[in-house]
Structure 1
């Protein structure tokens, strides 16, 4: 490992965030995070919070307008009318502290740059939140994490595009072109690398071929210059939006914000649209029976489609809304799809990959639009303009049709859209809202092309072909099926894994909650590896056993390979399990929920002393050698920490509200299966 000496500096970086780098940091490990959007920033925050040894975190971003927010929340891709599609009480960066965002927004946030509409707004649990505020929340929480980190833990923020990552000995070298006018190439030796590159480029359908280079075509509604391009649209122009998912709603918001009053045509093959949440909406979690069609031995696509239709009809009859169009109707499909997540895991595991991909492609729009509705502040912008009011004309229409071709007409000032089964239309602009490419076999992205095809460090996700194959903590799976050493990822590239491992579909494969969990879990795994770099035993813990402390305790005892009576072995199992449940787990949760470093240090000291005493007790009570006791305690500490992180990330086990906002939280009754 190279030695590093960094002089003290307090350089203001990006919107006032300061990076404090301590003097004379020697032999610090370097973790490089590629991408400083939502996932990269939050992963850096978690590393800064929990690092226990000298560490330098390098946070690389190629597009400054996306820093701290990425595509969804970045300064370049949003305006003040773009809202989060989730209530303020559910967007904390730390699931273990659900009130964190509200406390920041109401008590800490600098509101000097906010519009008057928001400068005097008090946020409550059910409030809507502008995306730009969320970006500021991320940036300020990063600054706070830097200030609260250990003196030998530092953050460097770099600007540039990463184009390659190669192995060199026991480390990696990150190759990037800086953001200067010459784009000079640099190499950054790193002990571990976390890829947080966000979404790939938007899908480019074949029918865009003749218009893709025209200024009448907006290829990416979230590009750094998109808001400027929306502003160039004439107020009376007719705009065709291809795709009807959430990005189409964002596009309507952008057009309205820019003063557009003309006709907007939202076009998709099925014409499916997101519904709007009722005002008093709660994100209830249902339980549903295992769909009977899963008992079929051969799950053909036809059997799956018919089985899902039949089971959905059954659930609607048993638990559905009183009538079509009711408030409950707006969330029924979403709740059913959430309840079906365990069965999606089983379904995908039993089906052929080609069939899985075919179903996901064929029913993509139906899945996406039913998996989530929109908050009123988003949905009403579109829905109100779909019906019009007295004196206010209808300006938004939905076109359910397949597009065959597009071509420029009238000297390139307009676009003719050719449909398969309806008359052509001529529009002034076209906005591409078909979503982003998810095929990592053909990305057009220099870094991922190098990782997949050149270095063979990654491979496309096998079942869904959406994103890449990863291990349980986000480790890249190489072309030969092994997990890459110290090479991780967080973000949308894990969407196929979210479907196969957790049953998530639609926008929930990369929602705030999903990414927040990934960042926490991956950061903690990386730090475990930093702590146990010379301790190979930690790498031998089987995948997934930390989900259950009983299984964890059984495995630790079997790993010791004791030559003892079965009754003594059983007594040891019970002793380890009792200690894990009653002492180690509660203390570990206290550590993970601690407010600041001093409190974390206190809980870490308590936990370390407890583990040491427990190891001595094991040796004394069961005749273990000092090495056996040490090993048992070391493995137990790891699986208990993993178990605590897993539970804190479990949406069905949300942390309790014990702050001033607790009385605003309602808990809907659970529906019986």
Structure 2
């Protein structure tokens, strides 16, 4: 802490899924007084973000993945299902969903996720330790600079209950909010597509299909109207599905550069992980684009064939998902061999195709669209090509010009919906906060991929020199490029809930650790001894059994949502660490040896909670969390 007796403050910028999940973990993990400010510039996005907020998600917008994978706690895979079936307030739900029994493999409306996150956040507040408080505030963060305490953030429109006593900021109508640590959970950056520059304000053009105004246009559109949907990503299926369920009879064209169609998950599909050998052919030196793609195709076909032979019980539709997941540990080494410019081009060209290999969609969404694509119906058509320009037509409609491989053609539409979604290059970010962070060198656009920003293994922003920029972290989409090169996670990253959940655990634990070390006067302790992991994993260590027991207790503490249970586990953990006396492997100049052991145990426990080599259900069994009703067990 920078001031004696002051309660540390963590400012979380963005209260969507990533920000809310991080706030929940902070409330669970903090053992000492802490103030958490959860800042959101749009009240309707709180506990929801663009993907789940009620005004932009009518009841027929369902999760693209099965409901059983939507728990905010990866170590408690059934939490969302149990909430939806047993806790959710259904009094204002439509009849269809009010009587619905939710299952792991089935659908669920996206709009109820806002209530789920809100309930879990409120639960975390109730079960937090004494002196740990959550402040939910409105306001937009516009800039941030280092200060003695940590960071001071210029915020516009700050809630009065937070604004009292704050100094005016350098920007008009802003106040300076000081924080010991800042978490950036800002979600998607919207891209303004060049092809729609002339129609951005046209009443027949929809820029954001998840806005209240877009939903009004889609649901009030004449049934016979013609619609063009730019893009074939999963958000395009939401738009098409909404139209079809509302009785739309006119033509719907889905324009796709790649021609990619997503798979439909089988009815009994469960997430799984299969072991596959390292694809050695991908580790050869890069010798050009075509040669590299040929190697990828060969390795992919071999891997898919291997899965079909070794695991005949796996539905053929799911084979690509299994291979893509199994390859993740090997991809960083392969990616490292691809020149930067080539890597960026490959990601841009194949991003939708890679996403379709890694992610499917539930039958509730896909069946109605597949029927409409059938020649006997024909209401939905997949148009292959790239949109070159959208212009107003004399008829009052919009003219859409499409360039395919060998031709160009145009057609008119009564409504055009753009799913040419997000800006992944943070050098072009539209939000003032990111523009200022990049301009001031606090954030650096990701060099290798051009997607997101540079962060270290703990999620801390790296400055232009590659050094930690201070107590400021990122969770969620801004870490896309780092996830690709560090963990091999490609595909539809914006919807990669597993990565966001892991970020929330790791960042929250890191923040709590750093604040505690700072308060105890050991702020640079762990940094001076980066080999902390070896302290609890060295098989030759005489007290390995005691350390292992400590890690198991810490895993259970981190995974516990009840304050009483966490405190009991904490007491047992402290006693176990004190009983060790000391570790011979620790440097002799380390003061308060127990304090460093505690930090080491926490970090290893976090690594285990974030293990993606197993499914969430396997993780729960692996960590011994199946029967943890009583901490003394």
Under a length normalisation based on structure 2, what TM-score does the superposition of the two structures give? 0.89
- 1:75 CA drift (Å): 1.7
Q: Distance in 2 between matches of 1:46 and 1:140?
A: 14
- 1:382 CA drift (Å): 1.6
Alignment correspondent of 2:118: 139
2:364 to 370, 374, 377: 377
Alignment correspondent of 1:560: none
Q: Distance in 2 between matches of 1:259 and 1:33?
A: 42
Q: Distance in 2 between matches of 1:296 and 1:626?
A: 44
The question of 1:341 aligning with 2:328 is answered yes
SS state of the match for residue 225, structure 1? Answer: helix
2:319 to 332, 337, 352: 332
The question of 1:303 aligning with 2:291 is answered yes
- 1:228 CA drift (Å): 2.0
CA RMSD, aligned part only? 2.7
2:603 to 642, 659, 662: 642
SS state of the match for residue 381, structure 1? Answer: helix
Alignment correspondent of 2:89: 110
Q: Distance in 1 between matches of 2:368 and 2:525?
A: 52
1:589 to 539, 543, 555: 555
Give the direction of change, closer, same or farther, for the CA distance of 1:634–1:180 in structure 2 (3 Å limit): closer
The question of 1:507 aligning with 2:492 is answered yes
1:577 to 531, 544, 551: 544
**1:78-117 matched pairs, under 5 angstroms:** 78-117=57-96
Cα deviations across residues 125-183 of structure 1 (Å, max 9, x unaligned)?
Answer: 323221112221100011111111123111111111111111222321111111799x9
Alignment correspondent of 1:425: 411
- Conserved? CA contact 1:275–1:373, under 8 Å: yes
1:610 to 572, 576, 579: 576
- 1:117 CA drift (Å): 1.6
- Uncovered stretches (5+) of structure 1, i.e. residues with no partner: 5-25, 555-569, 663-673
SS state of the match for residue 423, structure 1? Answer: strand
Alignment correspondent of 1:409: 393
Stretch moving more, 142-151 or 283-292? 283-292
Cα deviations across residues 437-459 of structure 1 (Å, max 9, x unaligned)?
Answer: 10001112111000001x21000
Q: Distance in 2 between matches of 1:356 and 1:404?
A: 24
Alignment correspondent of 1:178: 157
Alignment correspondent of 1:49: 28
2:137 to 158, 168, 182: 158
Q: Distance in 2 between matches of 1:137 and 1:71?
A: 15
Give the direction of change, closer, same or farther, for the CA distance of 1:318–1:107 in structure 2 (3 Å limit): closer
- Conserved? CA contact 1:76–1:224, under 8 Å: yes
Alignment correspondent of 2:179: 190
The question of 1:494 aligning with 2:497 is answered no
- Conserved? CA contact 2:11–2:179, under 8 Å: yes
- Conserved? CA contact 2:28–2:558, under 8 Å: no
1:270 to 258, 272, 279: 258
- 1:107 CA drift (Å): 2.2
Stretch moving more, 51-60 or 360-369? 360-369
- Conserved? CA contact 2:459–2:507, under 8 Å: yes
Alignment correspondent of 1:241: 229
Q: Distance in 1 between matches of 2:3 and 2:303?
A: 62
Alignment correspondent of 1:225: 213
Q: Distance in 1 between matches of 2:214 and 2:555?
A: 44
Q: Distance in 2 between matches of 1:173 and 1:292?
A: 48
Give the direction of change, closer, same or farther, for the CA distance of 1:100–1:300 in structure 2 (3 Å limit): same
- Conserved? CA contact 2:139–2:157, under 8 Å: yes
- 1:82 CA drift (Å): 1.1
Give the direction of change, closer, same or farther, for the CA distance of 1:625–1:365 in structure 2 (3 Å limit): closer
Q: Distance in 2 between matches of 1:387 and 1:237?
A: 19
2:55 to 69, 76, 83: 76
Q: Distance in 2 between matches of 1:221 and 1:117?
A: 24
Q: Distance in 1 between matches of 2:11 and 2:201?
A: 36
Alignment correspondent of 2:189: 200
Give the direction of change, closer, same or farther, for the CA distance of 1:383–1:179 in structure 2 (3 Å limit): farther
Q: Distance in 2 between matches of 1:179 and 1:168?
A: 20
Alignment correspondent of 1:439: 425
Cα deviations across residues 321-375 of structure 1 (Å, max 9, x unaligned)?
Answer: 99xxx99332222221111112211112222211110111122222122221111
Cα deviations across residues 384-441 of structure 1 (Å, max 9, x unaligned)?
Answer: 211166xxx3211101122322221124333243435143211111111122110001
Q: Distance in 1 between matches of 2:591 and 2:7?
A: 30
1:126 to 66, 84, 105: 105
